[in-house]
Structure 1
Amino acid sequence: MDYSQLTLTGIMVILVLCLFGTKVKPAWLFASAIGTSYLAGIINLENMLINFANPSLITLILLVLISIGIEKTSLVRKLSNSLAKGTLSQSVTKLGLSTAFLSSFTNNTAVVATLISAVKENPTHAPSKLLLPLSYTAILGGTLTLIGTSTNLIINGFAVDAGMKPLGFFDFTLVGIGVLSSGLIAILLMLKLLPDNGKNEEEVLPFYLEGKITPGSKLIGKSIEENGLRELKDLFLAEILRDSKRLSAITPQQILKENDVLMFVGDIKSVPLLSQFDGLKVVHDKNEMNVEHLVEVVVSHGASIIGKTLKEAKFREQFSAAVIAVRRGHDRLQGGLGKIQLQAGDALILAPTPMFYESKNLKREFVYISGLDLKTYLNDKKSHSVFGSFLAILALGITGVVPLVKGLMVLLIAYLLTSIIKPNEIKRRFPVELLVIVGSAIGLAKLMISTGLAQEVSNVLLIVLGDWGAYGAFIAIFILTLLCTELITNNAAAALAFPIAYSLALGFDVSPLPYIMAVAFGASASFISPYGYQTNLMVYSAGNYKLKDYIVMGLPLSIVYSITAIILIPLVFPF
């Protein structure tokens, strides 16, 4: 091996070890890897920077930004209102097909964010019976088209840079329909395995919130029963914090004192009831914050506030918002909100100030569920215009009349000029980490091919997999990519697997397409962990799920998905 191969090998080994073994954000790791490659002299500045202007990457960024407007439309929310009608199987089928269709041409995170609130509020079925299928079918739907998931666009960028023809918009569709069909059938057969967290009253009152009795309150000196605090709808007074002491097993005769902090467990929609009591403040030290407009967020797996209390994280100063309620799956939390150490997947209810939306790290720290744009939903006329114009641009791009990237750029400008999307939303939602990861990954993948490192790795694999033949190597690449996407990000898995898969195809002297598709579909197969894919994390607390629910549902689904993909890909894309 020459200098370039040895240096790049060291860089890639350290990158993989850090991705698997540390909590450092993938964006930092990929940026460091490509930056080190430049400093080591194995790539020049121009070739490094040009990867961030890759047409597939620009298309992906534009789609993410345009989804800001699409998620404001009323059409998706109206569609969700019909999902509660019929049996559970009928509802899951309608939900799955609708979600898959929407996810095939827009950002699946936006689709889940738009539908999740309506699914939670449906009167017929427990949300826990619908939310995990919502996430899974959003992932499955993303495999249907070139733009359905970021992975497909990235793979296309890799393929073009390797000298192959660009992948077509519907090249993924036949296999995608197969995995969607088998996956949806598997989900329907496993519905009984989903927990029913909607009928047990203790589980439908999951949020943990506090109210403080302020000086001069009429509640002071009276019992809980006299104040009417035992008869609140969907709220239960769990304990009282008084002078750093925690009073539990509270009786109706308990007398309230000034500065008592009352800890409630209940439905967040009942928070306005607390504001009706004289001198009982839910947000007691920031008067400009109110509970009329709430934001519900989930702590991201890579958030810097994990392991810290609200005070240690300086939450109010950092985000200009007060945490008024916390939820952590099935766990019954104790003590004041300020003493709770935050964990990934915690659902937080925030009372924001206007400055909240200007916070720099919102996208990194939180997965949004609802509330950020509650007051900016578009009317029916604008909703039809947004969907119509988006579909028109897609049609022009698919038919080759107008390049897709150019059409999306014009559409984004039009949305900005008509205030469908506001500049501050672009600033707040711009996917910087995605840009860094994908741009760096494209550069590293090209380096692995150009330096011959990918060929060296494939030569070793050819020796190991030689007796298995081209089909055995194809299966091995699929399984390798699938395991990587469950343990690290889907984009990182694609970046690591693509150059090896491409070189293996050349080594076996067969078409690279089945190997490339193995990477694409393998990188989209994240079902077993709530942390493997963003939509899985979004429904984690919303559905009151436990980790075992993902394993029980996700493992069989992953097996069905894998078998279907492994059978169909070689049939659609022969060796």
Structure 2
Amino acid sequence: MDWQIGFTLAVVVIALGLLVWEVASPDLVLMAALISLGITGILTPRETFSGFSNPAVAMVGVLFMLSAAVRETGALDLTVGRLLASARSVRQGIGRIVLPVAALSGFLNNSPIVAMMTPSVIDWARRSRLSASHFLIPLSYASILGSTLTLIGTSTNLVVDGLVRDSGMVPLGFFELFPVGLPIVAVGSVYLIFIAPHLLPNRPLPTDTLGERRREYVTTMVVKTGCALVGSSVEEAGLRHLPGLFLVEIERNRRVITPVRPEVVIEAEDRLVFAGVVATIVDLQKIRGLVPLSEEELEEQDAPTRTHGLVEAVVSSSSPLIGRSIRESNFRSAYDAAVIAVHRNAERVPGKIGEIVLQPGDTLLMQSSPDFMQHNRNSPDFYLASELSGSEKPRFNRAGVALTVVVAMVLAVSTGVLPITLAGFVAVGIMLATRCVSPKKARESVPWSILVVIAAGLGIAQAMAKTGAAEWIAQSVFGVAHGLGPLGALIIIYCLCMLMAELLHHTAAVAIMFPIAVALAGQVGADPRPFVIAIAIGSTCCFASPFAYQTHLIVYGAGNYRFKDFVRVGLPLNLICAGVALYTIPRIWSF
């Protein structure tokens, strides 16, 4: 062993230790390891930073932008959201989550999907009087299962493809993983729907146990023609058991329906009067065709339909609004915002919005223009103004465009019309041009730390291959596994990938194991292709640790889970996926 092999292995071992003990974030650890390989001359400057020019890094960023566009248009709410609304039990709910999420995760990055779906699942569980802890782990697991279907399902697959290209092998096809991914999704879904419910905890969320008083408002929502709620009863629409919100009455053709019975059918142009907390009011306005009734709409004027979200502001004692009704103050013209509800002295203020006379300390819930916060954050008219996170209304009129663009990209790549990276950038360009997503939102959607991890991992993998460190490890493994043959070597590689991905970042596991797997395939006289597939699947199908995957971390706190919950539910799924993969891979990709 020469010094370059020893130094490279030492750097890798130290990096592994730092990642296991969480001394620093993965991007810092892997970047430090890469730079240390560069300053010692093991990698040239061009080789050190070659990972940043790899198409896989660019494609991962593109996938996050595409997912942001789908989220901004509310396309998921129009698909998965409607399926979930009709579920009435734990098993039905898991089934309505697992299958569509797995299918979507094959074509969109799974982290944004889970981030988008988590609040919807929690709200639906509350309305159905079920614990959200029954559904969030299956949501995360389904997104990972589905990501094994295609090349763009997860960044892990793209990193493997990048390493394959750098090694001079035939690149992975768009649907090359499908023959092993499909049985994994099928068997994994059966486990999640029929077995996992017996293992999942029934635990209340932290927010369900809080007893503090929350600000409550009375607000009116108008059911527009084409709204998803038209023709459904109050019970079917899920409006009977809203968390922290009560449907007080329905105004229809100058007639008031109160109390509102569960069987009342919602009609177009109904005005639904709600009383309750602002968080659920925010969720209501994300329903397509359900819009807040502002003071201007009461006068049959145009509402601020191009608003970007909701804002809360407290009226100051020196405000010119004091002693005047909202209509008299000409609020819309003065502030380019429309008041949709008022809260006063820990009580909600009833009555028509335009007729409420404002007092000092009143909290206004407003639908505002994009510039409201910039112009009024320090205004003497308000003590405090704050934008409500996540209150932006989806661009529903662009949902069809977003889904069409994603489908067109998949077809272009799968038929060979365009390379995957170019097709991705063309798709993002169309999303921006058609205003499915704003440039600002697209930029903000890219997790730059993940891109650094991927690029640094590619550089480390190159050092492992260049110095012979991977070959040295492969020879050592071959010495231990001598006589097991190619299948035994494949099992070892898969298990090592799965173990490293559970303990480390999955990209780091791929970067370290890829050169070792290729070298070991050469030692046992086998084609490296099945080993490459095993790395992609083994590094993805990791369910026993909440820290193994970003989607697990998203639901970890949101579902009030414990580490043991992931071990109890995820470890059997690890073994199931390993069994399916190790049975299928040698039969599709021969040694």
Taking structure 2 as the reference length, what is the TM-score of the superposition? 0.69
Equivalences for 1:12-91 in 2 at 5 Å? 12-79=12-79, 80-86=81-87, 87-91=89-93
Aligned equivalents of 2:481, 2:26: Cα separation in 1:
30
SS in 2 for 1:510: coil
SS in 2 for 1:466: coil
1:8 counterpart residue number: 8
2:588 is aligned with 1:572: yes
Aligned equivalents of 2:145, 2:545: Cα separation in 1:
15
Q: 1:548 aligns with which of 557, 564, 569?
A: 564
Aligned equivalents of 1:454, 1:535: Cα separation in 2:
30
Matched to 2:470, the amino acid is: A
1:525 counterpart residue number: 541
How much has 1:183 moved relative to structure 2? Answer: 0.9
SS in 1 for 2:114: helix
How much has 1:389 moved relative to structure 2? Answer: 1.4
1:360 counterpart residue number: none
Cα gap change, 1:292 to 1:102, in 2 (>3 Å): farther
Cα gap change, 1:204 to 1:41, in 2 (>3 Å): closer
How much has 1:10 moved relative to structure 2? Answer: 2.2
Kept in 1: contact 2:399–2:436 (CA 8 A): no
Aligned equivalents of 1:32, 1:289: Cα separation in 2:
50
Aligned equivalents of 2:425, 2:366: Cα separation in 1:
36
Kept in 1: contact 2:464–2:512 (CA 8 A): no
SS in 2 for 1:167: coil
Equivalences for 1:127-166 in 2 at 5 Å? 127-166=132-171
1:194 counterpart residue number: 200
1:180 counterpart residue number: 185
How much has 1:12 moved relative to structure 2? Answer: 1.5
Q: Which structure is larger by alpha-carbon Rg, 1 or 2?
A: 2
Cα gap change, 1:280 to 1:544, in 2 (>3 Å): same
SS in 1 for 2:49: helix
Aligned equivalents of 1:555, 1:275: Cα separation in 2:
50
Q: 2:413 aligns with which of 380, 387, 397?
A: 397
2:345 counterpart residue number: 278
Q: 1:205 aligns with which of 204, 208, 222?
A: 208
SS in 1 for 2:149: coil
SS in 2 for 1:71: helix
Matched to 1:196, the amino acid is: N
Kept in 2: contact 1:81–1:118 (CA 8 A): no
Residues 408-437 of structure 1: CA distance to partner in whole angstroms, max 9, x if unpaired?
212222323333322322332332112211
Kept in 1: contact 2:66–2:428 (CA 8 A): yes
Aligned equivalents of 1:208, 1:175: Cα separation in 2:
49
Cα gap change, 1:270 to 1:391, in 2 (>3 Å): closer
Cα gap change, 1:508 to 1:71, in 2 (>3 Å): same
Equivalences for 1:342-491 in 2 at 5 Å? 353=386, 372-380=389-397, 382-491=398-507
Residues 12-68 of structure 1: CA distance to partner in whole angstroms, max 9, x if unpaired?
122122112233011011111111111101111122222211112221221112211
SS in 1 for 2:72: coil
In structure 1, list runs of 5 or more residues that go unmatched. 213-232, 236-265, 282-286, 294-319, 321-350, 355-370
Aligned equivalents of 1:44, 1:290: Cα separation in 2:
60
SS in 2 for 1:467: coil
Aligned equivalents of 1:479, 1:428: Cα separation in 2:
36
How much has 1:9 moved relative to structure 2? Answer: 2.0
Aligned equivalents of 2:365, 2:131: Cα separation in 1:
26
SS in 1 for 2:483: helix
How much has 1:452 moved relative to structure 2? Answer: 1.2
How much has 1:117 moved relative to structure 2? Answer: 2.3
Identity of aligned residues (%): 29
In the TM superposition, structure 1's runs of 4+ consecutive aligned residues that sit over 6 Å from their partners are 287-293
Equivalences for 1:488-527 in 2 at 5 Å? 488-527=504-543
Aligned equivalents of 2:199, 2:16: Cα separation in 1:
35
Residues 192-215 of structure 1: CA distance to partner in whole angstroms, max 9, x if unpaired?
2223346xxx97723465789xxx
Matched to 1:132, the amino acid is: I
How much has 1:534 moved relative to structure 2? Answer: 1.7
Cα gap change, 1:410 to 1:128, in 2 (>3 Å): same
Kept in 1: contact 2:69–2:436 (CA 8 A): yes
How much has 1:163 moved relative to structure 2? Answer: 1.4
Matched to 2:209, the amino acid is: P
Aligned equivalents of 2:566, 2:17: Cα separation in 1:
26
SS in 2 for 1:82: helix
Cα gap change, 1:569 to 1:234, in 2 (>3 Å): same
1:115 counterpart residue number: 117
How much has 1:291 moved relative to structure 2? Answer: 7.4
Aligned equivalents of 1:97, 1:565: Cα separation in 2:
19
Residues 318-341 of structure 1: CA distance to partner in whole angstroms, max 9, x if unpaired?
xx9xxxxxxxxxxxxxxxxxxxxx
1:368 counterpart residue number: none
How much has 1:396 moved relative to structure 2? Answer: 0.9
2:104 is aligned with 1:102: yes
Residues 370-398 of structure 1: CA distance to partner in whole angstroms, max 9, x if unpaired?
x7543141124x11011101211221121
Residues 161-186 of structure 1: CA distance to partner in whole angstroms, max 9, x if unpaired?
11110000111111111111111111
Aligned length: 443
How much has 1:500 moved relative to structure 2? Answer: 0.8
Aligned equivalents of 2:424, 2:148: Cα separation in 1:
20
Aligned equivalents of 2:27, 2:158: Cα separation in 1:
18
Matched to 1:50, the amino acid is: S
Aligned equivalents of 1:508, 1:98: Cα separation in 2:
41
How much has 1:81 moved relative to structure 2? Answer: 2.5
Kept in 2: contact 1:128–1:545 (CA 8 A): yes
Please identify, of 143-152 and 516-525, the stretch whose mean Cα deviation from structure 2 is larger: 516-525
